[in-house]
């Protein structure tokens, strides 16, 4: 996947994660950044568990799962 496509998928995943995690987001720009980070983390986790995520839709699902994980962790860390 090209860098531009990766960034776009990551930003879309951040937006989707913000929609799913209502009230636990970090604003639009924060969610977009965390979506990119989540795309990296989700990709590594899915690869570790041998889940194939080739293609646009599987990549978006992988990135969204990673972004939700990142939003959850940062939400828990901010409560302390």
Task: Please determine, for residue 1, whether its predicted confidence score (pLDDT) is greater than 70.
Answer: no
The string of pLDDT tens digits covering residues 29-44 is 888 888 888 888 888 8
- Note the pTM of the prediction, 2 decimals: 0.83
- Longest CA–CA separation in the chain, Å: 38
52 alpha carbon, distance to own chain's centre:
16
Average the pLDDT over 13-42 and give the result: 82
């Amino acid at each position: 996947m090209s860098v531009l496509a990766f960034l776009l998928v990551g930003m879309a995943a951040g937006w989707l994660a913000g929609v799913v995690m209502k009230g636990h987001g970090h604003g639009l720009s924060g969610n977009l950044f965390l979506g990119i980070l989540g795309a990296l983390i989700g990709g590594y986790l899915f690869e570790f568990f041998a889940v194939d995520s080739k293609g646009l839709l599987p990549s978006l699902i992988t990135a969204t799962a990673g972004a939700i994980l990142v939003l959850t962790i940062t939400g828990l860390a901010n409560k302390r």
